[in-house]
Structure 1
């Protein structure tokens, strides 16, 4: 993975410019926007981040370029056939509670971004509704985790579940990133 797009680098850059978010929340928000149906050609995502995480102020060029890199990398991951979604979280050497908090921030960002584009959950499949309910539960997790193998395994499972669920939402509701004008055949 590009060092420029790892959690620590993005988070440090955000805090350097007094942006009130970490890399996980930024990527989660972008992912939520795309999974909720925002067309990739829609540049409103930058305004969403400015309004919600930078008190409406513009970003310095260096930071805007970094965020554009995060957005482009995410788009690429979502359309690749391998279904690889790399969540921007603290790395595996970070304390487990930092990683857990990163996951919570990611999920909260996702739900926020998703909600901006997808208000009508009635049209969503039961799988998507269930995933969003689970995300709501994950976003409220407060229990500190102990540094042991069981907690590591549990966190790894939740991270994998979040990845799969985000991809499920994208596959169902995301606008086609390969060409916004393509019509997807409906499956009944």
Structure 2
């Protein structure tokens, strides 16, 4: 089992590296990258991080923390237990900040999916199911979410429902891209609309 990730610890690491991107975006990138079958070494992942975060080369301890983002996403998805947790700020943050982070997670997911997908398409032509295509479209729509949403109890419930949808959609995409077929009963992508 990989060391646990904490949003605030990773945010502090990003600050020390001079990175302007949020932790949610890197975690989303890792999830998208592994979802489409991307696998990478620690050194390769570090190069991706430096490009994405536009930062200097981290020291070995910082490098290990960045690699943990990738390994935790991979292990959570490979566990077969639908155990992916989106790395987002906790409830202490205002709802608008959490909504913004969710959008950034989705943007990172799409970027990671595209990067690994581009590498995969050189090796083989892939066609995706209509459900996977719809899930990617939904994640793209969520990436555009506005942070000026409702901040009452209904807004909180909507936020958690959308987070759960994104989590399940990412796991479903992973299953289809890594196992070939999604079992209809086990991993049906929920409908957003």
Shorter-normalised TM range? 0.7 to 0.9
Cα drift, residue 98 of structure 1:
0.8
Distance change (3 Å), C-alpha of 1:3 and 1:147: farther
Matches within 5 A, 1:1-188: 5-39=5-39, 44-55=44-55, 57-119=56-118, 123-174=127-178
Whole-Å Cα distance in 1 between the matches of residues 64 and 42 of structure 2? 16
Moved more, 96-105 or 71-80: 71-80
Whole-Å Cα distance in 1 between the matches of residues 42 and 20 of structure 2? 23
Cα drift, residue 58 of structure 1:
2.0
Distance change (3 Å), C-alpha of 1:100 and 1:185: closer
Question: What is the TM-score with the length of structure 1 in the denominator?
Answer: 0.84
- 1:11-46 deviation line (CA, Å, top 9, x unaligned): 111112101211101100011110122125585332
Q: Where in structure 2 are there 5+ consecutive unaligned residues?
A: 184-193
Whole-Å Cα distance in 2 between the matches of residues 185 and 157 of structure 1? 27
- 1:58-89 deviation line (CA, Å, top 9, x unaligned): 22222211111222222221111321111100
Whole-Å Cα distance in 2 between the matches of residues 37 and 122 of structure 1? 11
Larger RCO (alpha carbons 8 Å, 6+ apart) = 1
What RMSD in Å do the two structures reach over aligned CA positions? 2.4
- 1:123-158 deviation line (CA, Å, top 9, x unaligned): 011111001111111111125023211111111010
Q: Where in structure 1 are there 5+ consecutive unaligned residues?
A: 175-183
